[in-house]
A and B are shown apart, each in its own frame.
Chain A
Amino acid sequence: MKLAVLINEGPYQHQASDSAYQFVTAALAAGHEVMRVFFYHDGVNNGTRLTTPPQDDRHIQRRWSALADEHKLDLVLCVAACQRRGLVDEGEMKRNSKDAHNIADGFRISGLGQLVEAGIEADRLVTFGD
């Protein structure tokens, strides 16, 4: 089955991103397609490559990036939510004249339309949030 996932909270503060990761891992293991993981609200904070959690803790961003690499997952950060919260890729850096970018491997920034498209094209959309 074709699944899509929506994550509305950032890493560490709330379990949402962890629950979503476990869910996506289990779905892939069961042979399902995960056509997109969309990050909205504070969820976009999962996509910064600048986090440095303690060594004995899970690295939430790297875990997502590795899963994306392994399974060709489409990890999409909402552009409007990113702009409000300081998540910037190279294109956004140039467009908004910022001096840095911070998006991790495997993530891309795009419009909210990608969420609606996931709702249309996936058989099920599962939301994780607060």
Chain B
Amino acid sequence: MSTLNIVNKSPFEKRTLEQCLKRIGEGDSVLLIEDATISAVNGTAYANLLLEASKQSRLYVLQPDLQARGFAEKPLLDPVEAVDYAGFVDLVVKHERVHSWL
């Protein structure tokens, strides 16, 4: 796998998510952590952006951060896979490099 891209900002506050997504491609993955986790939930204005990105990239969300923000029981966008910190570590190991979009 190519690059694990980490995004931690709410797309409602900063443009980091779209800035990341427009520059990645085949073999890349995106892990949503911290405030970015809320974009993984079904029904937001950014759903289509993530659905489009999922055609070529794998999408993950850090479950403990989502749970902290009150969305543990809410349905996620279909292509987004929830991971815990152990899963986060596995993603880092599986990709060739990690790029945190700060």
Residues of A within 8 A of B (CB): 1, 3, 8, 15, 19, 22-23, 25-27, 29-30, 32, 124-130
| Residues of B that sit less than 8 Å from A by CB | 6, 8, 33-34, 64-65, 84-86, 88-90, 92-93, 95, 97-98, 100, 102
Question: With A1-B93, A3-B92, A32-B93 given, is the CB distance from A26 to B85 under 8 Å?
Answer: yes
Minimum C-beta distance from A107 to chain B (A): 22
Output the nearest chain A residue to B33 by Cβ-Cβ distance.
A19
Residue of A whose beta carbon sits closest to that of B100? A127
In the bound complex, CA of A3 to CA of B88 (Å): 13
Q: Is the CB of B92 within 8 A of A124?
A: yes
B22 to chain A, nearest CB (A): 21
**A127 and B85 within 8 A (CB):** no
- Name the B residues within 8 Å of A127 (CB-CB): 6, 98, 100, 102
- Identify the closest chain B residue to A25 (Cβ): B85
Decide if B89 touches A32 in the complex (CB within 8 Å).
Answer: yes
Q: CB < 8 Å: which of B84, B85, B93, B102 contacts A8?
A: B102
Q: Which residues of A contact B102 (CB under 8 A)?
A: 8, 127, 129-130
Q: Are A23's CB and B85's CB within 8 A? A: yes
Bound: A126/B101 CA distance, A: 11
Q: Is the CB of B34 within 8 A of A126?
A: no
The 8 Å CB contact of A124, one of B8, B84, B85, B97, is B97
A23 partner, pick from B8, B88, B95, B97, beta carbons under 8 A: B88
Of A1, A22, A30, which is in contact with the most chain B CB atoms at under 10 Å from its CB?
A: A22
Are the CB atoms of A27 and B89 closer together than 8 Å? yes
A126–B6 alpha-carbon span in the complex (Å): 9
Interchain nearest-CB distance for B50 vs A (Å): 21
